[in-house]
Structure 1
Amino acid sequence: MRWETLDGMMAGDYRIRVREEGRSVTAGQRYVAFYLEREGLLSERPILRGLSAGPRPQPIPGWLDGFFQNPVRFQGVPVALPERVVRAFFRRIGELIPPGGWLGLAYETFGESQPIHRETEQALRLGIPPILTPLGMCLFYAGCAFPIRDWSIAEGWREGPRKLQGFKPRDRERYLDVVDALWEEIRAFLRRTEGSSRPEFAAARRRVEDLLSLWSSRGADEAL
């Protein structure tokens, strides 16, 4: 995938900067990082960094296995990105992932944990549907939530940290099938947690409202 095409594009008030950070020992794979720039200042660390499929033909059309950070730091100052910027950024990422491809976002961080990772892990432990977690919403913004798989137990060292892996549907029929199953899962969650005052459940229920709003604004048959 040609991530370089995103270099210079806007995500809300920020400009995306793309850097290649080396090649994998596996042919056709490379490490890529996405920084944000504003008013001439570049974020100290990337907002998203990961391993990506290269341009060669692959069994899976295209993918990015990444680690997302929010807040990011500018000149030593942490800046929490508003949801509108996160949404715009992941929409850009999703534009380059082809049908049948996937985006992975780690919630196991090996010492670099931020609230977005801890909140996602805790929500999954409580049985909250993956799409209603903070990282799950990022996958939804990218159009890679149909379905989402929770890699809570890695199947060997090659799979990396625990993550959410979201797929972009190959066709409209597959998308509609997954959406039906997704909303049934969400309805079951709402029934199960009705009346609960647990803050994790309250946050997930608010995300249901966000999903409904985004879907209704773009039409029920669109992924985003």
Structure 2
Amino acid sequence: MTSEPIAKQIAERLGSGLLTAKGERAFELALIELQEVRLRAGWLRFALTVRDEGGQAARTPLMTGLISGGGRGVMPWCEGRIYPWVEFINHERFDTRQTGLEAELIRLIGSLVPAGGHLMLEYESPGQSETHRELLLRVPPAATHLGALMFTAGFRGRFKDWYISEGGHEGPRKLQANKSPNAAAARDALRFNLDELKQFIRRQPPENAEDAALVARAQDRARLLLKEFSSSYR
């Protein structure tokens, strides 16, 4: 049993992870920053990048954020910003979204955060505006771009949209996806989310063409989630 703080254990496992992009291109994750947060016990600030099969590290991060080991009834959690592309020293610009690295990273985080924990992903920055627009159009959180990735990664509890900060350390707007603390809560939350998705796929599209296209993509995600998870609470 390791004596290292929980946040550091999570960070080190995250920083030693392996991701496989579409086309079977493999990447190693690497921590390029890990430091304690002043006046926040058990919190670590981190920055994560990737190295390709040749050992070449990207010069820009894949994710930056915070990890907390929890405490006083709060389970470990992670929050951050995921960048939809990284750049290498040779000027290659690699699309982490289209190649599936973004989804793989969220799936890895889902394997590290325990039941009762949560993941918060910022959606204000360039490259994440789709989730922001979807939430403004009243798309259910689980059907948004980031929400669907978190849901698939195991965060199937209730969602919280930090659209308006409540003071303190909240920072930019973000979507929080929770892991339910026990089996009964997990069943209730899953039922709530899937019922919301069922109602959403019957919604008429907005009149604006761009908004309608955005909602249609979200409805496609909702159908996929319903197909995959509807049998889980029957």
Same-fold status (TM-score > 0.5): yes
3-state SS in 1 of match to 2:232: coil
Distance between the aligned counterparts of 1:162 and 1:74, measured in 2?
28
The answer to whether the 8 A contact 1:19-1:32 is kept is yes
Distance between the aligned counterparts of 1:71 and 1:193, measured in 2?
33
The answer to whether the 8 A contact 1:29-1:52 is kept is yes
Change (3 A) 1:213 1:180: closer
1:145 aligns with one of 156, 162, 167: 156
Please tell me whether residue 183 in structure 1 is matched to residue 194 in structure 2: yes
Q: Name the aligned partner's letter for residue 42 of structure 1.
A: A
| CA shift for structure 1 position 169 | 1.0
Please tell me whether residue 220 in structure 1 is matched to residue 229 in structure 2: no
Aligned counterpart, 1:132: 143
Structure 2: runs of 5+ lacking an equivalent: 1-6, 21-25
Distance between the aligned counterparts of 1:212 and 1:165, measured in 2?
20
For normalisation by structure 1, the TM-score amounts to 0.85
3-state SS in 2 of match to 1:159: coil
Aligned counterpart, 1:207: 221
Distance between the aligned counterparts of 1:53 and 1:184, measured in 2?
32
Aligned counterpart, 2:61: 46
Distance between the aligned counterparts of 1:87 and 1:141, measured in 2?
9
Distance between the aligned counterparts of 1:189 and 1:83, measured in 2?
28
1:25-104 residue pairs with structure 2 within 5 A?
A: 25=38, 26-39=40-53, 40-54=55-69, 57-75=71-89, 76-81=91-96, 82=98, 84-104=100-120
Please tell me whether residue 158 in structure 1 is matched to residue 158 in structure 2: no
| CA shift for structure 1 position 34 | 2.0
Change (3 A) 1:61 1:19: farther
How many equivalent residue pairs?
213
Larger radius of gyration: 2
Aligned counterpart, 2:18: 10
Deviates more, 1:14-23 or 1:35-44: 14-23
3-state SS in 2 of match to 1:43: coil
Change (3 A) 1:195 1:57: closer
Distance between the aligned counterparts of 1:69 and 1:195, measured in 2?
29
Distance between the aligned counterparts of 2:181 and 2:227, measured in 1?
24
For normalisation by structure 2, the TM-score amounts to 0.82
The answer to whether the 8 A contact 1:193-1:201 is kept is no
| CA shift for structure 1 position 210 | 3.1
Distance between the aligned counterparts of 1:7 and 1:199, measured in 2?
37
Structure 1: runs of 5+ lacking an equivalent: none
The answer to whether the 8 A contact 2:155-2:178 is kept is yes
Distance between the aligned counterparts of 1:78 and 1:24, measured in 2?
31
Deviates more, 1:16-25 or 1:170-179: 16-25
3-state SS in 2 of match to 1:192: coil
Q: Name the aligned partner's letter for residue 178 of structure 2.
A: F
Task: Compute the RMSD of aligned alpha carbons.
Answer: 2.2
Distance between the aligned counterparts of 2:66 and 2:72, measured in 1?
14
